[in-house]
Structure 1
């Protein structure tokens, strides 16, 4: 019995000791958790430097967008109609010329000599005709003789005209006003008929061809204003007008070809140049506008960070924090995007530095550098 009581006493002591140990462990863990929570509660996020801007309302026009290329109204690769040797070159590379200017003269000495022979025959036939016309009045010759003289004269004159036309083919002249390209021939070179000599392109005005989907047919018409932007000139825009809308819709792409004309007095626009074109249609609408860089896209929706002023801090400076706001976005133009819902004019929005923000992050504003906010910015040339 005594032994049994001793065993029970030892077990009670052991259980009490284990309880004390476990209580100490759990108590320490609870104390540590309270201390960590207290530390985190007092820990503040460091301020993040961002740029900001005030959301404003601007007037937007609905615009149809497309791409295309410029083409000369008149353009041709000039070549010789007849074979011959180059005797004279009358132009410089890239020269502006007028219609009728002599560009290349082929050697035509033999043809000129033949022309002189025909001219002599025509002159002799004219003398014979004039003499017989006088004799006819005295009835020395019959009228049939004068008729024969007249036929001979007309035949001789026709030979002169035909030979002169042949000689003219030895001279390559500008068929219209324009700018020449790089010459492809040299003095003394033999040219076969049809050999290219130089390209000639008319540059003012210049036309622009692009395609539009058939759904846009009711929104475009001849005389409508268009704007082309070209990356070669840092997105500079050029104004033109639609001159023709194709009556044929492509059965494969369901698109139609549209042609616009642009004044080009300074010859900055060249045939083959790629451009983006915009056609303004419909009535203007007012939208809250932001730079596209101010909107962050995530799986839950489009987000902007609105700057909220929490009043002055202990140091007397404004306490600015970021508030995450979901927005509904609309159309874009250049570097801008329209905000349809979630934002009102006058709210200050973060435009750069959003990746390091969360709700309640303290902010330091530095607007020395701002993202692009150009409504006419052109996208990069995919070519």
Structure 2
């Protein structure tokens, strides 16, 4: 008897709905993975772009200012009296009295002070006595020589003796002239007892007092008075060498002083030193300003404005835009593509904070205070246009990936 076979089992068919669900789940998983990879790639690209944008140098730009027909050069000036004379004693003695003090307006020849000169008085008296003796000796010598010349024709005297008498008379006349000159000298010295003003002006200093011992200084001792003519003042300024060619004699300038803010005075260029000072690198220029009212004071400071002809072909830019290197002087222009173009320039005038240069247009964009590392063709970013940040910051992307 053959063994019995177990009954055959038949496979159950998979439900169609379950198979469809599996396909949908697989598709969803693939889509999630694809979206995650796409977002990661996009975040990486944005992060790279943001990093590259922030790696560009940030710069600010200025535009050249077109020059007008004229500009002004501001320079410090020094006011001085048009004429100033220190008064020294020309005779020795004691100050008897003084007639004027500082600030007094005096006229030419007006008495300022008197000096007592007892020594000079005695010397003058002695000189006059010496002169009287010399004159008497000369008169006697002349009459003697005349008589001896008359006797020469009668052979009563020799020619030698007559010549001696004539020579003695000439010597006595010379001694008389010397004595007269000595009297005149001492009289002139005595005349310096009176100290007078040399011209119309103002007494700006008095350095003596009654009873003071006065020595004839001749300029080596202290001055007794100083008289200054202040109806017109001189103004001295040091003009830099680069502007000397623009200075013209007779040119008008304006000036201000600290004690009168907002008020301008007119001055006129009178002369220049015609030489460059090695100490200042400029030329001394002298101007004259009217001071009839006495408002301006000698020795004071003034701010002088000199009008100089402008250059219509140039432009004015801040001095901070200039680049100095081994190849010369440049400015960094910014093109439409925000790339740098190094352009050489020549300074026509240096005004301190600004300079006038040739070869620039008012439409140019110039980088102000350019970085030292900047080179021709470099890309930069404007300070008023910040770099665009990526949509997802790095920290947020990391969080999404961990999620």
TM score, norm. by length of structure 1:
0.52
Deviation at 1:207, TM superposition (A): 0.4
Does the Cα contact within 8 Å between 1:62 and 1:284 map onto a contact in 2? no
Q: Which has the larger radius of gyration?
A: 2
Aligned pair count? 231
Does the Cα contact within 8 Å between 1:221 and 1:245 map onto a contact in 2? no
Given candidates 232, 238, 255, the residue that maps to 2:282 is: 255
Given candidates 224, 243, 257, the residue that maps to 2:251 is: 224
Distance 2:302 2:311 in 1: 25
Alignment correspondent of 1:73? 82
Deviation at 1:227, TM superposition (A): 1.6
Does residue 271 (structure 1) correspond to residue 298 (structure 2)? The answer is yes
SS in 1 for 2:259: helix
Does residue 196 (structure 1) correspond to residue 223 (structure 2)? The answer is yes
Distance 2:169 2:86 in 1: 50
Alignment of 1:124-143 (within 5 A): 124-130=133-139, 132-134=141-143, 136-139=145-148, 142-143=165-166
Alignment correspondent of 1:206? 233
SS in 2 for 1:231: coil
Alignment of 1:108-187 (within 5 A): 108-130=117-139, 132-134=141-143, 136-139=145-148, 142-187=165-210
Distance 2:106 2:242 in 1: 43
More strand by proportion, 1 or 2?
A: 1
Structure 1 regions of 5+ residues with no counterpart?
1-58, 286-340, 343-383
Alignment correspondent of 1:321? none
Distance 2:263 2:136 in 1: 70
SS in 2 for 1:259: strand
Deviation at 1:209, TM superposition (A): 0.6
Deviation at 1:60, TM superposition (A): 7.0
Structure 1 residues 101 and 131: alpha-carbon distance in aligned structure 2, compared to 1, 3 A threshold: farther
TM score, norm. by length of structure 2:
0.50
CA deviation digits over 1:236-258, x for unaligned, max 9? Answer: 22222112223332446533221
Deviation at 1:283, TM superposition (A): 7.2
Distance 1:253 1:131 in 2: 71
Distance 1:101 1:130 in 2: 42
Structure 1 residues 181 and 66: alpha-carbon distance in aligned structure 2, compared to 1, 3 A threshold: same
Does the Cα contact within 8 Å between 2:69 and 2:309 map onto a contact in 1? no
Structure 2 regions of 5+ residues with no counterpart?
1-67, 151-161, 313-361, 364-403
Alignment correspondent of 1:95? 104
Deviation at 1:101, TM superposition (A): 3.3
